[in-house]
Amino acid sequence: MKIFFYCLREFDELAYCRRFSRETGIGFDYSTGYPGPDSYALAEGCEGVSVIPCDMSAPVLRRFRDLGVRYLLCRSIGYDHVDLAEAARLGMRVANVSYPPSGVAGYAVMLMLMACRNITRLLRQADMQDFTLKGKIGLDIAACTVGVIGTGQIGASVIRALSGFGCHILACDPRRNPAVEGLAEYAGLDRLLAESDIVTLHTNATAENHHLLNARTLAGMKKGAIVINTARGKLIDTQALIAALECGQVGYAALDVLENEEGLYYYDRRGDVIANREMAILRSFPNVILSPHTAFYTQSAVEHMVRYCFDNAAGFASGAGSDHEVRCPGS
């Protein structure tokens, strides 16, 4: 059995691939580039293909299936880039990965603290040797109400971390997590938005929560509140967020993910004219932090992402299956 890895990073993932290939007896080959018409054929003879978020629409899946690929092994928690219905129709099995939630959780809390202390304005003005205090006063997170949307593993880890600061925590999730019941108060979305000084997103991107933060819900937030997103860019209507920042309805935004980030994040675009006006506008604001989808990026996370690709493939091949298998709803 063999897996073909696309977008493999030789500087961090390759050593783990070699290690887990030896441990599982599963072979691998790789390309540093994204899958495309010029590189689909590289996967011929491989039962599995491993990808990071990229185009896995129906035509791409059909092309891989024609090459004999049976397993699509995502090196990510998210799988909204995969046409699951088409994968099910083709008989292709899909799996995602998991990794310790503490990395993303810690990054989210870091962004909260940076936003609370106006770090963008403070550092920009310090670079110009403006060391005055006017306009730089911050918030004490201990005095804030923080709204956590999504209380899965990452959201729960964020809540545990925040509990140490002594802030009031509201949580919103259709499925309550008993692990956070004593640390956070569950509330409906409208109440959470209206009462929270900081709102942080920790839920998957689905059709139901596409643009969860939009013109209507942003207008229902506490005026001047902080928005944190380390989950998925599609959760926020970016144009509505820009409008809310411009009028002061949102006081600060710290975003590790962004709508339409494909083709930007993880690429070297130095010297390019980037056709993403929303990103350009956000980068111009002194009350915005944009980081390039790196909240996940720790040594432990990379190790787990590669390990689960091999483990998922082994489980599928043996018939034992995988706890990380992703199925199309209703299939």
Catalytically annotated residues: 232, 261, 293
CA 104 to chain centre: 9
Residue 191 — φ and ψ, nearest 5°? -65, -45
Spatial strand order of the sheet with 48-51 comes to 27-30, 2-5, 48-51, 71-74, 93-95, 325-326
Beta-ladder partners of 225: 250
Could you tell me which residues come within 8 angstroms of residue 189 by beta carbon, excluding any fewer than 6 positions away? 149, 172, 217
Give the whole-angstrom CA distance, residue 277 versus residue 154: 31
| Cα dihedral sign, 268-271-275-278 | positive
Cα three-residue angle 65-69-75, rounded to 5 degrees: 115
